[in-house]
Every structure is written in structure tokens, then in C-alpha cells.
């Protein structure tokens, strides 16, 4: 029996490509109409890489600052220098659109009488802004942030935050992430896990695979 369901935020409940896609659709910055998919991919990749490198080097800084650094790298890699574009992208990233299946998943958790929470690399202010804008705050019990332990996923200290919040054993937590490496790390920690494999990626070659693999969050209810 689960005590709570924890969701990753970025890429799981919130669409990390939405900022670049949305700005490209406005036509305000013509180069972005061509480059936005590549920009979004580099931005996300570098964002995650920086969290891992900063964890290894014990040089934590808030995820929002890392997100800004990663955007600077992505723009430089593509030869994009427009500072107005940069500010517009960061503004939109603060209020990323939720995936359509996010509400479905959270409703399924609520129907089982379980608390749903976020366990994220995002810092507290960033998460509160994002989930308020997404209209999901009233469906969430709490927002758990790595800011409280000063290290990023997949450090065990991060997953421990879920146990402390719910006075739970690892197997009493169901963890849901669209990041394969995150789901694997949570499995190794002892959580029951669901990997929402949105883009049909292969399973990571890590010690513990996810317990369940689904295409999107609409299937969560059957595992509660």
C-alpha cells in the first residue's frame, strides 16, 4: 500500500519544450522558427548535465540559475545572440505549460485517496511559480525541492526527502518520472517506479530498471 505518489516536474508534469515552441509560434524572432527544436534539445541536455557536474563537484546553485546558464550555452552553440529572445524564453520557462495528461494522472491519484507531490531539481520559488501558473497547485500536497539538501538527482539525499515527508519506507512511495535515469535511480533507492517514456527511448543501462514503463501519464491509475 502506497503512502504517497511523487512526480518529477520538468518533462513529466511540465513540458520543457513549451517555452521555445511557444515563442517560435509568435514569429517575434524569425531565427527561432527554424532552430527552436534544436535549441530546446540543447537547452534541456545542458541543463541536466550541469546538475550532474555540479553535484559531483559539490558546487550547488539553484536550478533556475542552471537553467539560465544552459540557455546561454544553447544560444551560443546555435549562434543566437538576441538578448530580448533570451529574456522571453526565460520568462516563458518560468510558466511552462503542463502536459495534457498531467491532470489525468493527478486526478487518478486523488481518486485513490493518496497525496500527490512533486519531487524536483527545481528550487522552491521556481516550482511554486510554475505550478501556480499551470493551475495544478490545488492538486498537489507539497513541492519537494533539492534546494533543501543542496545536491541534485540522482543523489539518494533527494529521494530521502519523500520518505521524510511521508514517514514512509521506500517501497511505500510510488515515483513517476519521464526521465529514464531518474526512474532507475529511484528504483535503486527503493521506490516503486513508473517511467513515462514519452519519446520511446531505450531503457537506461543502470543497476535497477523502472518497475513499470508507460507511454504517458494516462496509465498511472492502474498501478495505484
pLDDT digits (tens, 9 = 90+) for 77-132: 999 999 999 999 999 999 999 999 999 999 999 999 999 999 999 999 999 999 99
Domain ranges of the chain: 4-14+97-223, 18-94
pLDDT digits (tens, 9 = 90+) for 25-61: 999 999 999 999 999 999 999 999 999 999 999 999 9
pLDDT digits (tens, 9 = 90+) for 60-69: 999 999 999 9
In this prediction, residue 152 carries a pLDDT of 98
In the CATH scheme, what is the homologous superfamily, with its name and number, of domain 18-94? Putative phosphatase; domain 2 (1.10.150.240)
Closest CA to 144 of 130, 131, 158: 158
DSSP 82-138: -HHHHHHHHHHHHTPPBPHHHHHHHHHHHHTT--EEEEESS-HHHHHHHHHHTT-GG
Residue 218's pLDDT band (boundaries 50, 70, 90)?
A: very high
Average pLDDT over residues 174-199: 98
CA-CA distance, 193 to 187, in Å (whole number)? Answer: 6
Show which residues are catalytic.
Answer: 8
- Alpha helices by DSSP H, the chain: 18-26, 30-56, 63-77, 83-94, 100-111, 124-133, 156-166, 180-189
In the CATH scheme, what is the homologous superfamily, with its name and number, of domain 4-14+97-223? HAD superfamily/HAD-like (3.40.50.1000)
In this prediction, residue 1 carries a pLDDT of 87
pTM of the model: 0.96
Residue 151's pLDDT band (boundaries 50, 70, 90)?
A: very high
Residues 121 and 151 sit within 8 Å (Cβ to Cβ): no
Average pLDDT over residues 203-209: 96
Amino acid at each position: 500500500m502506497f503512502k504517497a505518489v511523487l512526480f518529477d516536474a520538468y518533462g513529466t508534469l511540465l513540458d520543457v519544450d513549451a517555452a521555445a515552441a511557444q515563442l517560435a509560434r509568435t514569429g517575434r524572432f524569425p531565427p527561432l522558427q527554424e532552430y527552436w527544436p534544436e535549441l530546446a534539445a540543447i537547452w534541456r541536455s545542458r541543463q541536466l548535465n550541469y546538475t550532474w557536474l555540479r553535484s559531483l563537484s559539490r558546487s550547488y546553485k539553484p536550478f533556475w540559475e542552471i537553467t539560465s546558464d544552459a540557455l546561454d550555452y544553447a544560444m551560443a552553440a546555435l549562434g543566437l545572440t538576441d538578448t530580448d529572445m533570451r529574456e522571453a524564453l526565460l520568462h516563458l520557462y518560468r510558466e511552462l505549460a503542463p502536459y495534457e495528461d498531467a491532470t489525468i494522472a493527478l486526478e487518478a491519484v486523488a481518486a485513490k485517496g493518496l497525496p500527490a507531490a512533486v519531487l524536483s531539481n527545481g528550487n522552491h520559488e521556481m516550482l511554486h511559480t510554475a505550478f501556480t501558473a499551470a493551475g495544478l497547485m490545488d492538486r498537489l500536497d507539497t513541492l519537494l525541492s533539492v534546494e533543501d539538501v543542496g545536491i541534485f538527482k540522482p543523489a539518494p539525499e533527494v529521494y530521502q526527502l519523500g520518505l521524510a515527508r511521508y514517514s514512509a519506507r521506500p517501497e511505500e512511495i510510488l515515483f513517476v518520472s519521464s526521465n529514464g535515469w531518474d526512474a532507475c535511480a529511484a528504483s535503486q533507492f527503493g521506490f516503486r517506479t513508473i517511467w513515462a517514456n514519452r519519446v520511446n527511448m531505450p531503457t537506461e543501462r543502470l543497476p535497477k530498471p523502472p518497475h513499470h514503463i508507460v507511454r504517458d501519464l494516462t496509465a498511472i491509475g492502474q498501478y495505484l
